[in-house]
Structure 1
Amino acid sequence: MSDNIKGKVVIITGASSGIGEATAKLLASKGAKIVLGARRTDKLETIANEIKAAGGEAIYQELDVTVPAENEAIVKLAKDTYGKLDVIFLNAGLMPSSPISALKTNEWEQMVDVNVKGVLNGVAAVMPTFAEQKSGYVIATSSVAGLKAYPGGAVYCGTKWFVRSFMEVLRMESAMEGTNIRTATIYPAAINTELLNTISDKGSSEAFQALYDQYGISADRIAAVVEFAVSLPEDTTVNEFTVGPANQPW
């Protein structure tokens, strides 16, 4: 069904590494036009150049998902460059896990800003376009932490539960309003990305590193799920994907 991907314009947030980078390269190889957004423009430039060298199409722009105007700007860039927008993959996220008693309140705020407000800002930026054209696809990275709670994950789990709930209501309301906006929420387990680098709490960091060392699988596995979602016919949505290593009991 990769014919459904060819020519589609796709914005990817958190595109400078990990799941975002892997997805950008895979969708570009299937003929999608990729709009890369993240804070590290040097990384985005390298990825865009690699995509173009392989015969694909990609542009990039600095994007801090916590700033509404920057989300609006990357939507404008996509439309100005390619004339339309089909998909936004809301993939930016932070996971500085720690016990509540450690009171890492700055990290709590960061997670809410990126993991919650970043999703809200992205949806707000694309909604006028998607509603007007009566089509569009919102894909978001939640986490298995959005399906179950665990010690050390109080705030992170909370942000990912929010994504789960918000995306489900977006799906329902879009169906009711007849805007044909589809949603897909992805719940990855141990996927090898830079996510662990955001953990400052020593105990949490060591525990997660051991977990990922034992079970972690490639970000390409999530990219393949996004590819599948985007390839589906317009009248079909698979709105939730729980994905992880086959040998991880999580």
Structure 2
Amino acid sequence: MQYADLHLHSTASDGTSSPEEVVRRAGELGFSVISLTDHDSVGGLEQAISIGEKLNMEVIPGIELSTLHMNEEVHILGYYVDWKDGRLKNKLEYFIRARKSRADKMIEKLNSMGINIARERVLELAGSNFVGRPHIARAMLEKGYIKDLSEAFTADFIGKGGRAYVERHKISPFKAIELILSVKGIPVLAHPGVFKRDEWIKEELIRELVDGGLMGIEVFYPQHSAELTEYYLKVAKKYRLLVSGGSDYHGENSGRNILGSVKLPIGYVYELKDKVSLLKMQLY
């Protein structure tokens, strides 16, 4: 049976593996379709798609947009986005500037704590316009402030809510859906079971997002219990939403979900493709 993983991150955003490494690792595990969905970035898609073609693996061009709703994070995935579209590039360039500003603030906080890492070194480690916490963590590791990368992502340092943590710039989920639709993509709600600390996204908000153009929901996710998975399958059926799933992989040494923890049956990918084809027919 063929499987897919439609939620993967690389060094083009906050992952620790390059786009090529992500694709090759997925190939080693037997995946036939994957989607690279870096945070607010399409910088890894060209490399990922190229390697995928060599390995006879389909790489769906994707993205994950970070949004804020009622002071809580909501992530929106976009599949089959036209990643070369100028409107998307312009918006992402703004996000890049906001990310650099965020990194500067976290570095300043760390410096004030006696952790002396240089902004120039963090940008050098990023190696691209995308700079994030993994690059700060690597700079900390280089200078011996931590023993491994995962130690940086704790309350002591740059873990969410940590002493040196700074929130990311975010747009509303409705604006994210609008942006994805404008570049011919399929907007999908990411990991609804991972919302607030002890809560999950309820049907009421999903209904609002559907009214705003949402077309799918990430049902299969490592942190979704069997009960939550069943719940979101029912919600997807009720609102005629596409079903997606993925590991939310961030690299081999990220200390987060592992690649292979979710194997989405290929039938769900075919349904996604059918929707894309239908939208194209409506456009022309």
Normalised-by-shorter TM-score class: 0.3 to 0.5
TM-score normalised according to structure 2 size: 0.35
The structure having more radius of gyration, on CA atoms, is 2
| Structure with the bigger percentage of helix | 1
TM-score normalised according to structure 1 size: 0.38
